[in-house]
Amino acid sequence: MTSCGESVAEAAGPPATAVLTGRTAVVTGGSGAIGSAIARSLAAQGATVAVVDADERAESVAAEVGGFAIVSDLTGPAVPLRIVEQAITTTGSLDVLVNAAGIQVRTAAVDITASEWERLLAVNLTAAYRLTQAAVTALSATRGSIINIVSLSADRAVAGIVPYGATKAALVQLTRGLAVELGPLGIRVNAVAPGYVLTPMTASILEQPDFRDRVLARIPLGRLADGDDIADVVTFLASDAARYMTGTVLPVDGGYSIT
């Protein structure tokens, strides 16, 4: 029983759902619509979150979730190791790596410039690869987890974002290959493939009524996703509830991919 001045929550201690208490997570792209939702979801389950982004809004997201920000462009070759070192220096360990940073260029594939192509590769693929390399030792020590944010366009041809889809397809294959190689070290590697999520990156097309209506007509659940829809699946994969899952690519698309 509790005293009159003591709430049930206070008597019970931390909520039973705080499944990531004591763990440290690094979330890249952490100031974006999806990345910030992931940071909030992980923090709500008890994790200390390093919010990584080139955008200084990472500072406000970190303050909101009680974590810390690392404001940096991911494409510098020395940056991944610095991120891992800062996370370990701040909290003592690294348990979860979420590669959510991503950019998109909407243009015909034959019209993309060399600099746009290189930037897509650098942010969407190479940064995730290098950060994984830098984090392997720390994650093996904690038997940690890596979650990559990919896309439904990784396995289907979508006009106007072909180079973007190519980078996400490569990230899917990287996810699967790393799951095989890192499994013996106790590291799980999975991916989440969002469907249509209304974000600043997709607003220009999803706010077009005709296009939006065509998309919604193919989604059995009848709505676009929001960041929380993606974030909660990421948090599941980071938790012990997914302890026997690796090499998996989970579509979070309201059923779009089956229609």
Nearest to 190 by CA among 252, 256, 254, 119: 252
Residue 249 backbone phi and psi in degrees, to 5: -115, 110
Task: With H, G, I as helix, E, B as strand and everything else as coil, classify residue 50.
Answer: strand
**Cβ neighbours of residue 154 closer than 8 Å, sequence gap 6 or more:** 165, 168, 169, 171, 172, 193, 249
Neighbours of 11 (CB within 10 A): 10
Would the CA dihedral through 130, 134, 140, 145 be positive or negative?
negative
159 vs 170: CA distance, rounded Å: 18
DSSP code at position 194? E
- Residue of 129, 164, 244, 256 marked catalytic: 164
Give yes or no for a contact between 46 and 21, defined as CB atoms under 8 angstroms apart: yes
Known active-site residue 196? no
Q: Which amino acid is at 81?
A: L
Active site residues: 164
